[in-house]
A and B are shown apart, each in its own frame.
Chain A
C-alpha cells in the first residue's frame, strides 16, 4: 500500500533553513505520472501548497514562496526533500507531503509534521 511519512526538526530558529524529508513507499517516483508535493497548514488556517516534483524531475513552486524553496528527490531512497530558507515565525505550520498521479488530486497524504519557528 502507499504510505508517506514526513520527518524533520520540530523547532527551528528564525532565519534558519528548514529541511524536511518525505519518505514514501508503495510507488516509485520514476514511474511516469507520479508526483510528490509539499503542502503546509498553519494552526487553525487553510492548506497552502508549496512545491511539487514529478517523475521527470520537473519542479514547480508556490509563486509567493519560490525564492525560499527548493525541492529535490532521491529516487533510489524513495525520498523527496524540501528546503525552506530564512524561516520566520509565520512559517509555523504542519507540513505535509502528498502524492498525485499526474497534475491532479492528492490521493495519499502523510500524517504531517509540526514545525515551530521560535527563538
Chain B
C-alpha cells in the first residue's frame, strides 16, 4: 500500500517560513492535499491539488509537488498557525481506490 512520510515536528520562529514535507513514491504524479488541525477541532483544508488554496485561506499558505516530495510552505508564520498538518492523496490498484494520509506534522511556533 502507498505510504506518505511526514516529519513528526517542525519548529519556526514567528515571521519566518515553515516548510512541511510529505514524501511518497513518485508523489509528483498524484494530487496532494493538505489539512490543518488545531486541538479539539476537525481538520481544515488549506491546500488542494498540490498548490491551490480554498477561499478564506491566506496567501501565506502554498504548496508544491515534484518527484518524491510534496511541500506545504507557510510564509510569515504566525502564532495562530501552530497546529498539526496532514497531507493526503488518493491511490488505486486494480478496481480499488483508497485514501492515504500522512502521519502528520506538528508545527510549533517558537
Show the binding face of A for B, using Cβ within 8 Å.
Answer: 37, 39, 46-49, 52, 60-63, 96, 103-107, 109-112
- Inter-chain CA distance A49–B100, complex, in Å, is 7
CB neighbours (8 Å) of B88 from chain A are 47, 105-106
Interface contacts (Cβ under 8 Å), in number, total 59
Contact check, B42 vs A47: say whether CB atoms are below 8 A apart: no
Show the binding face of B for A, using Cβ within 8 Å.
Answer: 1, 31, 33, 35, 37, 42-45, 48-49, 54, 86, 88, 90, 96-104
Contact check, B42 vs A107: say whether CB atoms are below 8 A apart: no
CB neighbours (8 Å) of B31 from chain A are 104-105
- Inter-chain CA distance A106–B44, complex, in Å, is 9
- Inter-chain CA distance A111–B38, complex, in Å, is 12
CB neighbours (8 Å) of B99 from chain A are 37, 39, 49, 52
Contact check, B97 vs A60: say whether CB atoms are below 8 A apart: yes
